[in-house]
Each structure stands twice: as structure tokens, then as C-alpha cells.
Amino acid sequence: MIEDKNPQRTSIAQLGEFGLIDHLTKHFEINQPSTLKGIGDDAAVLDFKDKKAVVSTDLLVEGVHFDLAYMPLKHLGYKAVVANVSDICAMNAKPTQITVSIAVSNRFPLEALEDLFAGITHAAKEYNVDVIGGDTTSSQKGLIISITALGEANAADIVYRSGAKENDLLVVTGDIGAAYMGLQVLEREKQVFQVNPNNQPDLDNYTYLIERQLKPEARKDIKDLLEKLEVKPTSMIDISDGLSSEVMHLCKQSNVGCTIYEEKLPLDPQLISVCEEFNIDSTTVAINGGEDYELLFTIAIEDFDKIKANPNLTVIGHMNKETEGKHLVTRANQKIELKARGWNALEE
């Protein structure tokens, strides 16, 4: 579906591994004071002084995590960085550095990797993180991307999944479910294209959903927002595998149960209309769809007044005793047991 507008194809074998690394990394800049040495030596050198270092890593595999039929390489590079930065934000920390490793088959010319790294470079600038190293190697199975993200935080500011208490409020940033429906739209158009390659998709009615899938953003703004509101979350996680799965993680790590209210789930109007078009229940999409990269966190009930008027934050429920279980209360006031039906990369 995505046309190759650059007919030039330079074999990466012509450059060799070190020549390729030099070529792809020449646009990376160092901006973080904690980066003493980035790319160019046997290892990077970082100095966090009195801060704590926060580290997360992600692996993206072609055919499992992304489909290049509709995922432009520039967007893929950007999204790969966002997915990792989001994990640092979920610790209430400031992202500072990333490493980027790729395994690539010989069907990818140099120009394709330039597009991928253009997206990585753009995201690094957008999120003010330094690219400080990585690796390149060959692959027999297409494209594999591994990114490790580092961040810094004061020890007192770090938020874990394990701090939620009974009666804490469950809060979500932004809206949820849109990235999943964006994927459904793209998958449908891919099927149409395979049947009739001359049929160009009309995606004007799906712009928000598709952007949430192809170019998501990490919530780097929430740490500062909560500090200004004088609220520290008791637990936090990012929504990458689906709301239900992420809530389960918080409950398990914090030894609590939860109650979520269907009527409180923040849904974009475009999501609701496209769910109707696809004949899919919007609540099912909201609680099980992944890749929104919003933040899900708990706060003490005493802090409700501080956040209740903020348009970025929605209270969707509360935590309760572990013995009370985990439930979704429907608009019809029915209590349904919450199950983790979010995305699982290990399923067949």
C-alpha cells in the first residue's frame, strides 16, 4: 500500500557494518548533560550524579509487532522510540538516552534504513533523548528493532506498579482504544488493496485513529503536570497492551482489586463512529485495545479535587480489597468480571 517514492536502491553490503553505522548515526546530536560519551567508543559513558537511573528495553519484530504494508519506515522509527520513552514516563522519570539495535535482511536497501533512522532522529529530538549506541547485524527474517531507553529521576519521585492502595482512584490520560481501531482500518484497507491494487484507500474519515496507530506520542507532559498539581501517583503503568491487562498488572503488584465504570471510559468521537461502522463494541475496544501509550495511574482519594477539572485526566474507577475482585460496571449497572484480554505477542 505504501509506494516506494525513492527508486534508488543502495546495497547496505557496500558500506559494511561500520560504514553503515557511521552513515546512519551521523545526524544524532548530544543534548543531555548526563551523556558524557555517546556513539563512537566501546561503550557510552553516563553521569547521573545524585539521580537514580531508570532503564527499559523493547523488541519489535516484523510480522509480529508491525506490518510494512502500511507502516512507513519513518513512522516505524518514530514509534519504536515512543514505545520505549513511554515506559520511562510510566516510572514518573525523565527520559534521557536510548540505544538502537537493528537486524535487517538484504531486501532492505540503504535508503530504507535512512527512512527508519530519520524517524528515530525525529523522535529523539522531539523527546530530547540522546542516541548513545546500539548495534547492526543481518537477519534472515526481515527487520528486527531493539531499543533500550534510559531515564533519570529523584528516588522520591519514582512511581512503581506496586503502590496502589484500597480506595485509590484509577486515572487514565487522554483517550483509549483509538490505536487499535486505527490498526483495524489499516488491516481492512490492506485486504482491499491485495484484491485490487489499483484501488487507492480513502482514509479521510479515519485520520485520528490512523495517526494514533502509526505515529503515537508518549505522555512526557504528565510528570510536570502532576508536579504542578502537587499530586504524586501511588502506582503507574503505560497502556501498551490494553487497559484491562495494565489494570491487572497494577492489581497484582499492589495486591488490590478494582472497579472500573464503563460510562467513565474516555473515548474519542471518531472511535465511537468507526466502531459502529465495523460493528464492534467500543467498550471492548477501549479496555482490550493496545498501543495507545497513555498512562494509567492511581492517586489517593484526597487528591481528587486537584485533578477533577483537568482535561488531560479522567477518573475511570477505584481500587478495592483484593478479595472483592476486579470488575467492570456497565452502563446498565451490571458488574462483569474484568479479564486481561489485551494483546499478547506470544499467542499463536
Determine if residue 65 is labeled as part of a ligand binding site.
Answer: yes
Determine if residue 115 is labeled as part of a ligand binding site.
Answer: no
Determine if residue 224 is labeled as part of a ligand binding site.
Answer: no
Determine if residue 291 is labeled as part of a ligand binding site.
Answer: yes
Q: How far apart are CA 135 and CA 157, in angstroms?
A: 32
Pick from 117, 118, 133, 125: nearest CA to 38 = 133
Pick from 158, 160, 157: nearest CA to 253 = 160
Determine if residue 105 is labeled as part of a ligand binding site.
Answer: no
- CA–chain centroid gap for 296, Å, is 12
Q: How far apart are CA 330 and CA 337, in angstroms?
A: 11
Determine if residue 47 is labeled as part of a ligand binding site.
Answer: no
The grid coordinates of residue 291 equal 498501543
The grid coordinates of residue 284 equal 471492548
The grid coordinates of residue 338 equal 474484568
Continuous H helices in 26-138: 73-89, 110-126
Contacts (Cβ under 8 Å, ≥6 apart) of 148 = 55, 56, 57, 58, 84, 98, 99
Contacts (Cβ under 8 Å, ≥6 apart) of 75 = 119, 214, 215
Determine if residue 302 is labeled as part of a ligand binding site.
Answer: no
Determine if residue 134 is labeled as part of a ligand binding site.
Answer: yes
- Calculate ∠ Cα 104-109-111, nearest 5°: 115
Count of CB atoms situated within 10 Å of the CB of 188 = 14
Determine if residue 241 is labeled as part of a ligand binding site.
Answer: yes
The grid coordinates of residue 275 equal 466502531
DSSP-assigned beta bridge partners for residue 229: none
Say if residues 212 and 240 touch (Cβ distance below 8 Å).
no
Q: How far apart are CA 187 and CA 214, in angstroms?
A: 12
Say if residues 164 and 234 touch (Cβ distance below 8 Å).
yes
The grid coordinates of residue 149 equal 531507553
Determine if residue 305 is labeled as part of a ligand binding site.
Answer: no
Pick from 214, 188, 211, 184: nearest CA to 201 = 188
Determine if residue 130 is labeled as part of a ligand binding site.
Answer: no
Binding-site residue numbers are: 42, 56-58, 65, 87, 134-135, 161, 238, 240-241, 291, 343
Binding-site residue numbers for Mg(2+) are: 42, 56-58, 87, 135, 238, 241
Binding-site residue numbers for substrate are: 65, 291, 343
Binding-site residue numbers for ATP are: 134-135, 161, 240
